[in-house]
Amino acid sequence: SQKIEQNSEALNIQEGKTATLTCNYTNYSPAYLQWYRQDPGRGPVFLLLIRENEKEKRKERLKVTFDTTLKQSLFHITASQPADSATYLCALDSGYAGTALIFGKGTTLSVSS
Amino acid sequence: EAGVAQSPRYKIIEKRQSVAFWCNPISGHATLYWYQQILGQGPKLLIQFQNNGVVDDSQLPKDRFSAERLKGVDSTLKIQPAKLEDSAVYLCASSLVTSGGSYNEQFFGPGTRLTVL
């Protein structure tokens, strides 16, 4: 069966540093990989999507890479701020319209000032 | 644009009781999902509807969980009877259905936190 792992449950960094979160998967060939942010008591919010034929995607201070050979995606937040503190979830997307996502457990990021 | 609405936000029941959750998706979103999120885990799909038809309910414990989406808009998820292990956040999400090959950005509601005592 498919397996998706986010290798750190928690990541603590100082303000201004770059946070790097890792997502690995097995037994699956997603067409897309999505990243969501989840704050306590709230539902996940979509951040970024990267397609299987893309190596890198950027949005403001966020950058996502996707290596289909390694079956890995890296999610970077540059110049991190305390407001970036949240849980970040990666999700596998088959690319077929209307299919459900397969989520990882998430990594909880804490940015201290 | 209004987001996905869910109610109630919190529910505490005793085991063997029944409970129901309600979801109103974003207007025009044909696909609706119910996820279960246990503390410390990622969301896990329970059931997926497209309009008022079930697309995937393979992970729904059908002996105790049921869901419906009458008229292809609102949806209700029911648990009867509840067990201790059903304590979790139940998230509803919706997405636009587009032609094959498009990504599926999902819009989530705030969730219902269920505690079973």
Q: Is the pLDDT of residue A96 over 80?
A: no
CB proximity B20 to A under 8 Å: no
Q: What pLDDT digit, counting tens, does each position of A6-45 carry?
A: 877 899 999 999 999 999 998 888 888 999 999 999 999 9
Tally the residues of chain A. Answer: 113
Q: Determine the pLDDT at residue B99.
A: 47
* Mean pLDDT of the region A87-112: 88
pLDDT tens, residue by residue, B18-70: 999 999 999 989 889 999 999 999 999 999 998 889 988 999 999 999 999 98
Strands (E), chain A: 3-6, 10-14, 19-26, 32-38, 45-51, 56-59, 62-67, 72-77, 86-93, 102-103, 107-112
Q: What is the structure's pLDDT at A7?
A: 75
As a whole number of angstroms, the distance between CA B112 and CA B21 comes to 7
- In degrees and rounded to multiples of 5, residue A83 shows phi and psi of -65, -15
Does B57 fall in a domain? yes
Q: What is the pLDDT of residue B103?
A: 61
Does residue B51 sit within a domain? yes
CATH number (domain holding residue B25): 2.60.40.10
User: What residue numbers bound the domain in which B58 lies?
Assistant: 5-96+108-116
Give domain status of residue B16, yes or no: yes
Tally of domains in chain B: 1
Residue of B nearest to A97 (CA): B100
Domains of chain A (ranges, CATH numbers): 3-112 (2.60.40.10)
Residues of chain A found within 8 Å of residue B106, distances taken between Cβ atoms: 44, 46, 101
Mutate to test the interface with B, among A1, A4, A101 (most CBs of B within 10 A): A101
pLDDT tens digits for range B59-114: 999 999 999 998 889 999 999 999 999 999 999 999 886 544 456 688 999 999 99
